[in-house]
Structure 1
Amino acid sequence: MKFRLGVKGMIIAALYVALTVTPPLNAISYGPIQVRISDALLMLAAIEYFGLEAVLGVTIGCAIANIASMYGPPDIVVGSIANLIASLLIYVISRKFKGILARVLSAIAASLIIAVLIGYTILHIIAGIPGPLMLIASVLVGEIIAVVILGTMLSIVIERRLRLRM
């Protein structure tokens, strides 16, 4: 696997930051109840045109966006690792399996990874908010909206447009 951040990766990182920190989206991007719309960009890793650049873009974008997080450096590190693992999983699954079912299942798996890492590690362990299962469930709902629904639709539309152009 060749990891390199080119123009596509930098654009994805910039979009991720903008969709996370720009009002009014910043109000729903952090905390126990969140729908981080920018996480829809994780599904770009399923598109061959973006691939590993999308993985690096959403990882770097998350690190930059989480500078604005109230949870500080742990959120920068754990959030970025969550995005790295989740988007890499999407990338690997999309290379091995094709079709809408594989895309949706990869999005669900990515959402679960993020929900556990953010809900448990950041919100419960670091922030000390009680009820780890409820925190994981809360983050999972937001991730299903962002990654499974919006991200899957976004990736399908972009992939179709790219096919028409090539």
Structure 2
Amino acid sequence: MNSKTKKIVYGALIAAVYAVVTVALAPISYGQVQVRVAEALTIMPFFSSYSIFGLFVGCIIANMIGGNGIFDVVFGSLATLISAVITYYIGKSNLRYKRYLAPLPPVVINGIIIGIELNFLYKLPLVASMLWVGLGEMIACYVLGLPLLLYIDKNDKIKSMIG
């Protein structure tokens, strides 16, 4: 398989897994108190740029199905895109603790953007919404995503397949 095809397939696989996991776990994937388990995949740009597109598309699909309307499709997906790009640059950096910083962008970016979105759409308290979404992101990204990152980082065979 040539390199371009491999990148497209890899991005599509990330998109599919993100969307399926999010929708399958819908009761905990949407709302003020949410743990979007698929957000653990937001560590993947640490290893490869082409996972950024997969995360973005997967989030668009999940948000289209999620029922919060076009506002969530646009801004929720944009939050994932911004987080993925920042995570990619963390992975390319020379920061000393970059493996532990990589899960942080989705926690902060989604906490802010989705918190504002929930305040706007449902008149939920802004700071509480930001904190709840941030806490759910922390669970997904640090409790699930960080061990995944560390596992991949120690496994040269997996890194060569996705890198």
TM-score (norm 2): 0.88
3-state SS in 2 of match to 1:32 = coil
Q: Which residue of 1 aligns with 2:98?
A: 102
- Kept in 1, the 8 Å contact 2:43–2:146? The answer is yes
3-state SS in 2 of match to 1:33 = coil
- Give the whole-Å Cα distance in 2 for the aligned partners of 1:41 and 1:98: 21
Give the unaligned 5+ runs of structure 1: none
- Give the whole-Å Cα distance in 2 for the aligned partners of 1:65 and 1:156: 26
Q: CA RMSD in A?
A: 1.9
Q: Which residue of 2 aligns with 1:83?
A: 80
Q: Which residue of 2 aligns with 1:18?
A: 20
Aligned residue type for 2:8: G
- Kept in 2, the 8 Å contact 1:44–1:54? The answer is yes
The reply on whether 1:142 has 2:142 as its aligned counterpart is no
Structure 1 segment 1-166 matched on structure 2, within 5 A: 6-22=8-24, 25-47=25-47, 51-97=48-94, 101-120=97-116, 122-129=117-124, 131-161=125-155, 163-164=156-157
- Give the whole-Å Cα distance in 1 for the aligned partners of 2:120 and 2:100: 30
- Give the whole-Å Cα distance in 2 for the aligned partners of 1:106 and 1:157: 14
Percent of paired sites with the same residue: 32
- Kept in 2, the 8 Å contact 1:43–1:155? The answer is yes
- Give the whole-Å Cα distance in 1 for the aligned partners of 2:61 and 2:132: 23
- Give the whole-Å Cα distance in 2 for the aligned partners of 1:14 and 1:98: 31
3-state SS in 2 of match to 1:157 = helix
- Kept in 1, the 8 Å contact 2:99–2:150? The answer is no
- Kept in 2, the 8 Å contact 1:111–1:148? The answer is no
- Give the whole-Å Cα distance in 2 for the aligned partners of 1:26 and 1:7: 25
Give the unaligned 5+ runs of structure 2: none
- Give the whole-Å Cα distance in 2 for the aligned partners of 1:60 and 1:109: 18
Q: How many residues align?
A: 155
- Give the whole-Å Cα distance in 1 for the aligned partners of 2:77 and 2:94: 25
TM-score (norm 1): 0.86
